[in-house]
Amino acid sequence: MTPKAIAAILDSGAFLFLARVLLAATFLIPGIMQPLQFQGTVGEFAHFSLNPAPAYVVLSFVTLLIGSALVILGGRLTWLGAGALGVYTGLTVLIVHHFWTMTGADQLNEMRTTFEHISLIGGLMVVAVLEHRRASATAAAASGAAAAATAAA
């Protein structure tokens, strides 16, 4: 059984919001920085053969900002934000962190980064699942309350 103090923290809306912000921060910060450092980001994207680089940069920061907002705010579109960020992260692994084509220290560093990215994808999946379950439970409770009210009438 979870200790009462820990349960109180886990039940807190503020704690859930903080968890969402912390998960999304790794996407939100680049989503803010990419347009502020547009030319440098264009050069980075061009280096990885993402052309036309300016279009990919815009697509990138829009995905990062909207996806982060949907994860942070929660609600019925959380799955969309988490999914977009998960796909973005998976593509980043394939395009940038392809450790299987490297050797030595570069391979080890990129492999670590890949596993960190995979963990982020898992965290995004958990957020989507938990939000879906919360919404389903809320809908079921509302449906049950409506049925009880109808039966009482």
**84 in any annotated domain:** yes
**13 in any annotated domain:** no
Identify the three-state secondary structure at position 98.
Answer: coil
**120 in any annotated domain:** yes
**Interval 46-57: pLDDT, tens:** 999 999 999 999
Nearest Cα to Cα of residue 127 among 83, 66, 92: 83
Query: Which pTM does this prediction carry?
Result: 0.90
Number of structural domains the chain divides into: 1
72-86, 96-110, 134-148: least confident range: 134-148
**64 in any annotated domain:** yes
| Domain that residue 95 falls in | 20-135
**77 in any annotated domain:** yes
- Segment 113-134 shows an average pLDDT of 96
| pLDDT value at residue 113 | 97
**108 in any annotated domain:** yes
| pLDDT value at residue 152 | 67
**107 in any annotated domain:** yes
**143 in any annotated domain:** no
**Interval 104-123: pLDDT, tens:** 999 999 999 999 999 999 99
| pLDDT value at residue 153 | 66
DSSP per-residue string spanning 9-77: HHH-HHHHHHHHHHHHHHHHHHHHHHHHTHHHHHHHHHHTT-SSHHHHHHHHHHHHHHHHHHHHH-STT
